[in-house]
Amino acid sequence: MNRIGKLAVALCLVLAACVALGCALPARFGIVDSASAASGVKLNKTRATLDVGDTLRLKVSGTKRWVTWSSSNKCVAKVNRHGRVTALEPGTTKITARVGAKKLTCRITVNSPVIVDPTIIGPVIVMKKPILYLYPEEETELTVKLGRPEAITASYPAYGDGWRVSARPDGTLTDLDSGRSLYALYWEGAFDVTPAIDEGFVVAGQDTAAFLEEKLAALGLTEREAEEFIVYWLPNLQQNPYNLIRFERMEEIDAAMPLAFSVEPETRIRVFMVYRPLEEAVEIPEQVLPETPVRRGFTVVEWGGSELN
């Protein structure tokens, strides 16, 4: 037997001895202890809170093996084969991801849906995180009013009969009722209108940040304003395989929630995004955005959005 043959026989004997004795083989032999491999398998969330109707994408990292998903209470939340959780009714449930013999769990708490005025009839969407920036040419005291205050579900500062503020050219505000310093006015609302998405953009979740940087600049937001928009919406959008995104037209936004100012702005920029999560890309006419607005004089900027089921 030549030298190479003897070395091969010796290596086989060493491997056989390790297997017989239950030894973990060194990684340099190309064999990794299964316990070590399993320890690197992780779930992106171990607990989460959702409102009824919300969705969440759970992902398992550290393995290429098939993942089996299940919900301990399918009445509270269901999960599909891709790990997308849909909140159905208030309560708690445990979502389990099985990878071979390993189990990973995420505790899901589902809260009650937003309670709205009972006179509102029909499908309801929630306008999330609309915030208003005010940029006067000189320090100005003014009142800001929303045209449908009955639809407001949250606001800061408290809306009351409108916001009374002192606004400065750099955008900083002072609430004249409390004296608190602010950088924007915030509100959320529930509406009995479901926007149609018959045009828009189909964007892969992983491409969301670059897409928003481009489109928000085209819609007139500054880098700072766009950053705040992206930081808020990116966690929701990037977890989806794809998103169908449409930006509402100004007349649609004004109809849903009119804005009134005691000192009339010269420039208004309102950006409202609606989106629907997708498992796969679809064909849809691409939305043509309006010409980028030019800021002149007293400028008001607002952004917000909604997820559609």
Residue type, 78: K
Domain that holds residue 56: 40-111
pTM of the model: 0.62
Q: Which residues of 89-108 are buried (b: 16+ CB within 10 A; e: fewer)?
A: eeeebebbbbbeebebebeb
Domain shared by 130 and 171, yes or no: yes
Residue 216: inside a domain: yes
| pLDDT top residue among 204 and 21 | 204
Number of structural domains found in the chain:
2
Domain shared by 87 and 135, yes or no: no
In tens, the pLDDT along 31-82 reads 444 444 556 899 999 999 888 888 899 999 999 899 999 999 999 999 999 9
pLDDT band (50, 70, 90) for residue 1: low
Show the DSSP H helices in 27-181 as ranges: 34-39
Domain shared by 252 and 205, yes or no: yes
Domain shared by 167 and 103, yes or no: no
Domain shared by 129 and 107, yes or no: no
Residue 20: inside a domain: no
Domain shared by 249 and 139, yes or no: yes
| pLDDT of 122 over the 90 cut | no
Last residue of a domain, one of 111, 137, 154: 111
Average pLDDT in the 255-264 region? 93
Q: Which residues of 249-264 are buried (b: 16+ CB within 10 A; e: fewer)?
A: eeeebeebbebebeee
Residue 303: inside a domain: yes
In tens, the pLDDT along 126-163 reads 778 899 999 999 999 999 999 999 999 999 999 989 99
DSSP state of 207: G
Burial of 187 per CB tally in 10 Å (0-12, 13-18, 19+): buried
Which contacts of 219-222 are long-range, i.e. CB under 8 A and separated by 24 or more positions? 219/247, 219/269, 219/271, 219/289, 219/290, 219/292, 219/293, 220/269, 220/271, 220/292, 220/293, 220/295, 220/301, 221/269, 221/271, 221/301, 221/303
Residue carrying structure tokens 């600049």: 217
Domain shared by 107 and 133, yes or no: no
Helix (H) or strand (E) holding 8: helix 3-21
Give me the CATH number covering residue 52.
2.60.40.1080
Tell me what percent of the residues of the chain surpass a pLDDT of 70. 82
pLDDT band (50, 70, 90) for residue 192: confident
